[in-house]
Structure 1
Amino acid sequence: MKLLLKWLCSALALLMVAYLYQGVSVSSFGGALIAAAVLGALNAVLRPILVLLTLPVTVVTLGLFLFVVNALMFWSAAGLVSGLAVAGFGAALIGSVLYSLIQLAIDFVLERLFLNQ
């Protein structure tokens, strides 16, 4: 139940990013659901490998290179899903930061909801 709710909220977060920033567009809620699932899968499988491979650069940049890794994941998801479009790498960077901030707020609210039960 919690996983399904988080998936739906992730799709809503993608729609919010598309609403807030013109460099990212989502075709429909169904496209957002698929994009959220693909983005979650990429973040679960590919992101840890990229973080490990780019660890020296991440240390030198004091962690700022992780923004680039997040943008690459966001851009890759847009390349794999036809319902999500990103204008370029800069748009992917801004979109991934917005998506991360919205996800942070969603996780905070969901944690508060499930702690009260």
Structure 2
Amino acid sequence: MGFLGRWLVGAIAVGAAIWLVPGIEVVGGAYAGPIFTALFLSFVNAAVKPVLKVLSLPLTIVSLGLFSLVINAFMLELASYLARNITHAGVLIDSFGAAFFGALVISIVTSLLGGATE
């Protein structure tokens, strides 16, 4: 699956998180918000996430891998912030709990849809 396919799957996953998780709202358009958030989430996951995973390796080992869920929530918060401030369209996340469960929904939906498209 190419970049556009992953971007489409990411946008659908962000849309599912908006629909399922209270505390995540669309800013700047019903379709533009999830699309730009998914785009920035792809960029953040490619650029920042590997560095954070290496730096947080001791915490991830001690927590038996559960700290990676916290990293995913932080990546969603960062992508949301960048999308809203650069393109003025994205998602607004109210709390860390909403980001945590939103990242969990995005991970599950991406896994399901990504596996179905391959």
**TM-score, with length taken from structure 1:** 0.88
Deviation >3 Å, runs of 4+: none
Would you say the 8 A contact 2:37–2:79 is kept in 1?
A: yes
Question: Could you say which structure has the higher helix fraction?
Answer: 1
- In structure 1, list runs of 5 or more residues that go unmatched: 112-117
Would you say the 8 A contact 1:15–1:26 is kept in 2?
A: no
CA RMSD of aligned residues (A): 1.3
Letter in structure 1 aligned against 2:92: A
Aligned counterpart for 2:47 among listed residues 39, 45, 48: 45
Cα distance in 1, alignment partners of residues 78 and 26 from structure 2: 15
How many residues matched? 111
Q: Which region of structure 1 is more displaced relative to structure 2, 85-94 or 8-17? A: 8-17
- Residue in structure 2 matched with residue 91 of structure 1 by the alignment: 98
**TM-score, with length taken from structure 2:** 0.88
- In structure 2, list runs of 5 or more residues that go unmatched: 85-89
- Residue in structure 2 matched with residue 108 of structure 1 by the alignment: 115
Please identify the structure whose Cα radius of gyration is greater.
1
Cα distance in 2, alignment partners of residues 93 and 18 from structure 1: 13
